Amino acid sequence: MATVQGPMAIGSASHNGIAPEEPKVVVAENGKAVDVQEKEISMEGFCSISAYDQWTPLSVSGQLPRPRYKHGAVVIQQKMYVFGGNHNGRYLGDPQVLDLKSLSWSMLEAKSESAEAVSFAACAGHSLIPWGNKILCLAGHSREPTESLSVKEFDPQTCTWSSLRTYGSSPSSRGGQSVTLVGDTLVVFGGEGHGRSLLNDLHILDLETMTWDEFETTGTPPSPRSEHAAACFAERYLLIFGGGSHSTCFSDLHLLDTQTMEWSRPEQQGVTPEPRAGHAGVTIGEYWFITGGGNSRKGVTDTLVLNMSTYEWSVVTGLEARAPPTSEGSSLVMHTIDGENFLVSFGGYSGRYSNQVYALKTSLKSSIPFQQKTETDINGTTPISIPENSSRKVIFEIEELKDKPGNRADTSKTSAQVVKGERNQIEDRLNQEQLQSLHLKQELATVENRNAELTEEIHLVLDQLSAEQMRASKLETTQGRADLAPERTELEPLLPLLEPWSPS
């Protein structure tokens, strides 16, 4: 039987100065949040925005979330999910959702009987990534930091969190990093780690095998930084823009070719962007929109767009200082209605914390169709392709063994022992493969080091040989001159005889 709970956030929205009735959140037995009111707004909200490229505050209903910044936001099935953030130094853990059809806020409350379910820990500076109809949450700062970066998954259908098991060497915990979906991988770059140490390392999580890899790159990577923005273009190129260190903010643009793993610095065209950190970005086709952020002098007031195919910057619109879309630590997502693309900004800090929602209807039309990555649809009818020898296949085999009716632990002690034995064998296989891979990497590194030493020795020998050749050449020249000296002395008396004779 469903229960009704009151709000736990502060502040409330209003329509035309009239406070709405107290919002309600319905918590179903399966943990799914159901809005009590699903009023469709026809000529209000997004549909009322007629002007292009201008930020407009949206009139929303329900209980406004607590003002915050450095939170995360993603859109799944026309709902904007907001998790975490920071308010006055306090980490927030209240999960909020804004229905983009009714523009109504509600707070999620999940119930689950599963022992494997986990809760969302209050944090800030984390990254949210939509993956199919689920949400992946990575990294972030919290009151109880961990040694390694964690990966959690939220299922909007059941309103439950689960902790995902990963393999390989996990990155160290951090906040203010960028996490970018490139194909079927997540690329983690930079951030601020333990002791406020700034990072510029690169880690890649394969979502098919759930395996971490730290890749060696060529070229010059971005300097250590946090609070930058990152985007993917053409399912291949990772772009990094801006960010800050402890002493300065950046306006540089870096590009990583994920096929060659080479960093480069594209030449930026158009307007020159101001240095900034804490800005937010979202892509629509080849266009990368950047809003908000600030530097040591001021908050940045313009909204920029980068054409990622030409690296040309242009200004979308400017705003008065301290307006919410110019805030640091705000979130920015994309929403499409009737073929029109909208940027949606929420929260941020510009001298005070914000919980307002702003929208901008962009006039730019992308030539690249938008496609959202799908691991599985809401009914599980489009499963992801699993490589034959991937470690994720091993994981699925383990889960299948656990779920087989004849192998459940409550059927019999013998069946449980069989399942446990098979599971241990599969895990042993996986460990052996990972160990073998590690040994091969170590052997390869040893061979490469030996090759480098031999190459250096060859260069030294060649240099010595060249020096000996030059020395021998000089000796031959000197010796030749010395050998001719006696003959020249004997011939000198005869030289007058060799002069031309002329009659007197």
Same domain for 419 and 343: no
Same domain for 431 and 302: no
CB crowding 98-133: b at 16 or more within 10 Å, else e: bbbebbbbbbbbbebeeeebeebbbbbbbbbbbbbb
pTM across the whole model: 0.67
Residues near 76 by beta carbon (within 8 Å), at least 6 away in sequence? 130, 133, 134, 135, 156
Average pLDDT estimate for 236-240: 98
Same domain for 345 and 469: no
Same domain for 157 and 271: yes
pLDDT-based confidence at 327, cuts 50/70/90? confident
Same domain for 197 and 124: yes
DSSP of 153-211:
EEETTTTEEEEPP-EE-PPBP-BS-EEEEETTEEEEEEEE-GGG-EEEEEEEEETTTTE
Where among 296, 328, 361 does a domain terminate?
Answer: 361
Q: Is 307 helix (H, G, I), strand (E, B) or coil?
A: strand
Number of domains in the chain: 2
Same domain for 320 and 224: yes
Same domain for 466 and 325: no
**Could you tell me if residue 150 is inside a domain?**
yes
Give yes or no for residue 485 having a pLDDT over 80.
Answer: no
Same domain for 260 and 393: no
Which CATH number fits the domain that encloses residue 42?
2.120.10.80
The residue assigned the tokens 């649809």 is 377
Contact 21, 13 (CB under 8 A): no
Same domain for 300 and 396: no
**Could you tell me if residue 137 is inside a domain?**
yes
**Could you tell me if residue 183 is inside a domain?**
yes
Residues near 169 by beta carbon (within 8 Å), at least 6 away in sequence? 212, 214
**Could you tell me if residue 494 is inside a domain?**
no
Same domain for 125 and 75: yes
Q: For 108-145, how does the pLDDT look when each residue is reduced to its tens digit (9 = 90+)?
A: 886 554 556 678 889 999 999 999 999 999 999 999 88
Q: Containing domain of residue 442, as a range?
A: 386-475
Same domain for 430 and 320: no
**Could you tell me if residue 492 is inside a domain?**
no
Contact 202, 217 (CB under 8 A): yes
**Could you tell me if residue 206 is inside a domain?**
yes
Q: For 25-58, how does the pLDDT look when each residue is reduced to its tens digit (9 = 90+)?
A: 433 333 344 343 333 433 368 888 999 999 999 9
Q: Higher pLDDT residue, 315 or 321?
A: 315
Report the share of the chain in percent with pLDDT over 90.
54
Q: What pLDDT does 450 receive?
A: 80
**Could you tell me if residue 468 is inside a domain?**
yes
- Looking at the DSSP assignment, which residues form a beta bridge with residue 151? 138
Label residue 456 exposed, middle or buried (CB < 10 Å: 0-12, 13-18, 19+).
exposed
Q: For 351-407, how does the pLDDT look when each residue is reduced to its tens digit (9 = 90+)?
A: 999 999 999 999 998 877 655 544 433 333 333 233 333 344 434 344 443 444 444
The residue assigned the tokens 């991988």 is 185
Same domain for 471 and 325: no
**Could you tell me if residue 502 is inside a domain?**
no
